Amino acid sequence: TPPKIRVEFDQSTGVAVMHMQSPPVNSLSLDFLTELCISVEKLEMDKSCRGLIITSAQPKVFSAGLDITEMYGKSPEHCGAFWRSVQEMWLKLYGSNMVTVAAINGSSPAGGCLMAMTCDYRIMADNPRYNIGLNETQLGIVAPFWFMDTMKNTVGQRTTEMALQLGLLYKPADALKIGLVDQLEPEDQVIAVATQTISRWLAIPDHARQITKSMMRKKTIDKLTSNRESDIQFFVNFITKDSIQKSLGGYMEMLKKRRA
Ligand code: CO8
């Protein structure tokens, strides 16, 4: 199978661009997440790499979020391994020492929004057909506490309460208004602007910026690190319930019908 992640590293700027290329919609499967984590870890260990831009090679979609087929009709063991890989992706990206910029060139629901929120800065394509948000309640599921924390750290408590309960997906203009994204750009400029933006962040002394980032995020990260196993146990119990399996099945049907 072809690689789901393509990394382009520019030695002269110290910036890597990670292109997610898992058709059709970059859904976060166990294989995808494993590959992504290995790529991020490699870059993290490479002293010459100081910045990371995450973007999509798929048209219209940044990432469709967690791969629903990894949570539907699967064994508890599989669900547990899958969830560990979701945690790992979040820990690696939210805790990264690199400057991270999300170049959101398409829709970014649920896990896709989570991934974008782990970054230091978000630039979204100014196309009203795209949306972004944590829409879990619309699937009849509950965003885990660390998804909630990440959003709270990004847009604040009040906006997060409303967004999460209603499972809101925001158009780019609205996402900008609430601070879920930082900047809108024409679709064909998103990556170029991300490259310019990251160079401003890289002008700050690395050690000072890194310590600041890690101090700001430490409490949120520690909360998951020290509860990892119980979070997996909770997810597995929740997702394998008959009622939850039924909502997931119904949601997948809806996705397929919508297109027909
Ligand atoms: N997982 C698996 N398959 C998916 C997913 C997904 N998340 N999203 C889309 N697909 C499939 C579709 O079913 C379709 O398959 P097929 O070709 O067989 O019909 C194919 O991908 C293409 O999808 P669309 O035709 O819908 O493509 P569009 O370009 O029209 O739309 C979107 C792209 C906007 C991304 C749209 O597909 C969409 O809205 N997808 C659903 C997104 C979503 O709701 N994701 C939520 C996942 S749950 C999550 O991330 C966090 C869960 C936390 C769990 C906590 C429990 C405790």
**Residues 47-67 pLDDT 10s:** 999 999 999 999 999 999 999
Per-residue pLDDT, 157: 98
CA of 42 to the centre of ligand 1 (A): 29
Residue 15 in any domain: the answer is yes
Residue 61 in any domain: the answer is yes
Mean of the pLDDT values across residues 98-120? 98
Torsion of CA 149, 114, 28, 188, to 10 degrees: -170
Residue 102 in any domain: the answer is yes
As for how many domains the chain has, the answer is 1
Average pLDDT, the chain: 97
**Residues 174-188 pLDDT 10s:** 999 999 999 999 999
**Percent of the chain's residues with pLDDT above 90:** 97
Which residues on neighbouring strands pair with residue 183, listed in sequence order?
Answer: 123
Residue 173 in any domain: the answer is yes
Per-residue pLDDT, 260: 67
**Residues 134-170 pLDDT 10s:** 999 998 899 999 999 999 999 999 999 999 999 999 9
Q: Which residues line ligand 1 (CB under 6 A)?
A: 24-25, 27, 60-61, 64-69, 107, 109-111, 135-136, 139, 141-142, 144, 235, 238-239, 255-256, 259
Residue 255 in any domain: the answer is no
Which one is catalytic: 70, 135, 180, 248?
A: 135
Residue 117 in any domain: the answer is yes
Q: Identify the domain containing residue 61 by its residue range.
A: 5-202
**Residues 11-32 pLDDT 10s:** 999 999 999 999 999 999 999 9
Residue 252 in any domain: the answer is no
Residue 187 in any domain: the answer is yes
Per-residue pLDDT, 88: 98
CATH code of the domain in which 18 resides: 3.90.226.10
| Atom number of ligand 1 nearest to Cα 64 | 35
